[in-house]
Amino acid sequence: MQQENLLIEVGTEELPPKSLRQLAQSFADNLEVELKKAELSFGSVRWFASPRRLALMVNELNSGQADKIVEKRGPAVSVAFDGSGEPTKAAQGWARSNGIMVEQAERLITDKGEWLLFKSNVIGKAVSQLIPEIAATALTNLPIAKPMRWGDSNIQFIRPVHTVTMLYGSTLIKGELLGVASSRIIKGHRFLGTAQLTIKHADDYENLLDESGKVIVDYARRKAIIKDQVEAIAVQEGGIADIDDDLLEEVTSLVEWPVTLAGSFEKKFLNVPSEALIYTMKDNQKYFPVVNKEGRLLPRFIFVSNIISCDPAQVISGNEKVVRPRLADAEFFFETDKKQTLESRLNALSTVVFQNKLGSLNEKSQRISKVAQFIAKMINSSEKHAQRAGLLSKTDLLTDMVLEFPDVQGVMGMYYAQNDGEHNDVALALKEQYLPRFAGDKLPTSLVACAVSLADKLDTLVGIFGIGLAPKGDKDPFALRRAAIGLLRIIIDKQLDLDMVTLIKLSHVEYADKLSNAHVINDVIDFLFARYRAIYQANGYCVELILSVLDRRPLKPVDFDKRIKAVAKFQALPESSALAAANKRISNILAKVTGNIKSTVDNTLLEARAEKELAEKLSSLEGKLSPLFTKGDYEAVLFELAALQAPVDDFFNNVMVMDKNEAVKMNRLALLNNIRSLFLQVANVSYL
C-alpha cells in the first residue's frame, strides 16, 4: 500500500500564547487516537505551532484502510429454525440486516453450539474519505475553555479560522474544517516574506514557510533560537539573562520570526527592589531581565521582536519608552508605601475578607500569629519573632506595590519590614511565608519562616475543611492540595519533630466557633495522608511501598519519611520478597481466626523443630529490636528482621499451623502474630 506524509494546517487569528503548546500537543494526541480508531497505519505524528497556526505532519501514512473480513454471528441454529426446519423471524431479520437470505448464511460450530454466520469483505476507505472527519473530531476535542464564534456562523473555535490545508503527499484532500474549505493556500508572516503561499507537497511545508514565508513553524526550534539569541546578547551586555521557562514559552508563542534586541533603563530605578522591576519586565512587557554574576539586576533588558527592522534603534527606543512608565510606577509605589508602617495597616486588614464564614485577613493574621508562636516553641525557634511575623504576614497585601504587582506579595513585606526596623528574622519570614509555591520550589530557610509558613497553611486547611469546602475532583479553588504538600515538605525536609494531630488541633482551637464540620480534624489528617502518595511517587517510590507505610498511618511526617526510606532499602534485600509473601500469608491466616490471639508464646507447647527454631530466633531478635524501635531506626529494624526469612520459610514448609490440638494451634498463631506485629511497627510489608 502507498505511503505518504499527511499535512493538516489550520490558519487562524493570533492564538492565546499561554495555551499554544497545549493546543498543539492535544491536537496531535487527538489525531493519533482517531487514526488508530480508523485502523490507518502510520509512523508518527509531529506537531507545529506558531501564533497564527496549528499544524500536524503524519509521517508514513498508508493511503487507506486495509480490506478486511468481518464476521457477524447470528442466532443459534436451535433458535434460527422451527420444528419443520423453516427459518424463524429472528433468523430472517438477522439475514435481512446483512443483505442475504437465511440459506446463504454459513455455520459457526463451537464446543458451545452452532450459530448462523455471515462473512463480508469490507473494502477499506481511502485517506481522502477519512481525514476530514478524523481531523474535525481531533479539533472538536481540543481543551478550549471559552470557544468563540465569528461572523454569522454558528461554528465555534478558540479563534477565527482563515485557512485550512489537508495535503496527502501532493494530493489535496477536499473537505472542510471549522467551515473553511481545504486549499493549498497557507499564510506567511504578516510583514515579512510572502504573505500568501501555495504549497504543492506536504514535505515542502516547513522549508516553504521558513524560506518564503519567514515563519519558523517548528515550535521547539523557534524556542531554542530565542534562548540562544537572548543568552548571546546578555553576554554582550556584560551579564546573564534571567530566563524562566514559562516566559520563554510565552515569547515563543508570540513570535513567528524572532529578532532579539537589548534595551536599557535609568540606573535610579535600581533603588527599587529588583523583584518588582523584574516582575513588571517579565509579566507586563515579556522582557528578559539581565543580572550580573552575583545575581544583581543590571539596568538592561532583552526583548524579542517579531519583525526585522531597517532601523533597530527605533525599535529599541520604543520599547525603552514603553517600559519606563512601568518602572516609574514601581518607584512611586515603593516610596509611597514606605511612608506607612506595616503595623499601621493591621486595622485596615479587617475590611478585607479572607472567606465569608472564616472572617477577615486581620482575623487570619491573628490566628497565624498565635499558631506560629506555638510551633516556634516546639521547634526551638524564636516565639517572639514568629508571633510578630505572623501578625504582620498579610499587611503588605494592602500596599500599592502589591496591589499593582500581586506576584511580589511577601517579598515586598520583607523590604517594608526592613524599612520599619523589624528584626531580620521577621522580615525574612514575611518573604518566605508562601514557600513552597509549586512542586520543586525552594523551602523557607529559617525556622521562624517555617513556623509562619506552617501556621498559614494550617489555617487555610483547617478553615476551609472546617466549613465543608473540601476539594472535589480537579477543583481546588483554595489550593488546599498545594498547601498540604507544602506543609509536609517543610516538616520532612527540615526534619521538624511535629505531629499532624497536634498542629491541626492548634489551628482548630484558634477558630473557636467559626467551624461547622465536627470531623474537621480527621478530615484534614486524611487529606494530608493522601498527599504522601503524590510526594513520594514524584520522588520515584513505587505505589506498593508507599501504601505499606500509609497502612500504619504514622502521625509524624518525619517518622513517615524514615519508614519509607527504610522499607525502600529493605525491598532491595534478597530476603524481602519471601518475607513480604510470608507476611501476606500470615495476615490471611490470622484474618480467619475468631477470638483473641495470645501475645505470648508458650515454649512448652512448641513441638516441631522448625517452630522451636523460629521461636528461638524471634526471641533473640526482640531484645535487639526494642532500642532500635525507641530510636526510630527502622532501617536497622528491618535489616534485623530480614534474618527471619529462612526460619519462617522452614516453618511454613514443615509445620501445620492449624493443628488439631487447639492449644498447639493457638500457640502457633501467637508465634505468627508476634512476627507480623514486629513488621507492622514499621510498615505493612505484605503490600510489597
List pLDDT tens digits, range 16-72: 999 999 999 999 999 999 999 998 999 999 999 999 999 999 999 998 888 777 788
For residues 118 and 130, membership in a common domain is answered with: no
Domain count of the fold of the chain? 5
In a domain, 480, yes or no: yes
pLDDT at 1 over 80: no
pLDDT at 223 over 80: yes
* Closest C-alpha to 441, from 451, 453, 427, 423: 453
For residues 203 and 228, membership in a common domain is answered with: no
pLDDT at 681 over 80: yes
As a whole number of Å, the end-to-end CA separation of the chain is 49
For residues 473 and 611, membership in a common domain is answered with: no
pLDDT for res 66: 82
What does the radius of gyration of the chain's CA atoms come to, in whole angstroms?
Answer: 35
pLDDT at 216 over 90: yes
pLDDT for res 163: 96
pLDDT at 561 over 80: yes
In this structure, of 67-71, 195-199, 215-219, 328-332, the range with the lowest mean pLDDT score is 67-71
State which amino acid sits at residue 439. Answer: A
The mean pLDDT of 228-242, rounded to a whole number, is 96
For residues 323 and 205, membership in a common domain is answered with: no
pLDDT at 325 over 80: yes
**In what helix (H) or strand (E) does residue 235 lie, and over which residues does it extend?**
helix 219-236
For residues 373 and 492, membership in a common domain is answered with: yes
Of 311, 334, 357, which marks where a domain is finished?
A: 334
pTM of the model: 0.79
Number of Cβ atoms within 10 Å of the Cβ of 123 = 11
Q: For residue 472, what is the domain's CATH number?
A: 1.10.3210
For residues 374 and 322, membership in a common domain is answered with: no
In a domain, 554, yes or no: no
Specify the long-range contacts of residues 348-354, CB closer than 8 Å, at least 24 apart. Answer: 348/398, 349/394, 349/395, 349/397, 349/398, 352/397, 352/398, 354/463
pLDDT at 688 over 90: no
Of 180, 213, 246, which marks where a domain is finished?
A: 213
The mean pLDDT value of the chain amounts to: 92
In a domain, 553, yes or no: no
**In what helix (H) or strand (E) does residue 185 lie, and over which residues does it extend?**
strand 185-187
**How confident is residue 605, by pLDDT bands cut at 50, 70 and 90?**
confident
For residues 201 and 311, membership in a common domain is answered with: no
**pLDDT tens for residues 428-459?**
999 999 999 988 899 999 999 999 999 999 99
Q: For residue 576, what is the domain's CATH number?
A: 1.10.730.10
In a domain, 545, yes or no: no
For residues 520 and 602, membership in a common domain is answered with: no
In a domain, 549, yes or no: no
Q: Which range of residues forms the domain containing residue 108? A: 68-122
For residues 351 and 396, membership in a common domain is answered with: yes
The mean pLDDT of 533-544, rounded to a whole number, is 92
In this structure, of 100-114, 345-359, 455-469, the range with the lowest mean pLDDT score is 100-114
Of 334, 366, 387, which marks where a domain is finished?
A: 334
State the Cα–Cα distance between residues 297 and 285, nearest whole angstrom.
16
In a domain, 547, yes or no: no
**pLDDT tens for residues 134-164?**
999 999 999 998 888 888 888 899 999 999 9
Q: For residue 58, what is the domain's CATH number?
A: 3.30.70.260
* Closest C-alpha to 418, from 495, 341, 361, 477: 341
Q: What cell numbers appear for 372 in the block? A: 506560629
For residues 262 and 293, membership in a common domain is answered with: yes
**pLDDT tens for residues 367-418?**
999 999 999 999 999 999 999 999 999 999 999 999 999 999 999 999 999 9
pLDDT for res 547: 94
For residues 365 and 450, membership in a common domain is answered with: yes
Give helix then strand counts, H and E, for the chain. 25, 18
For residues 508 and 584, membership in a common domain is answered with: no
pLDDT at 102 over 90: no
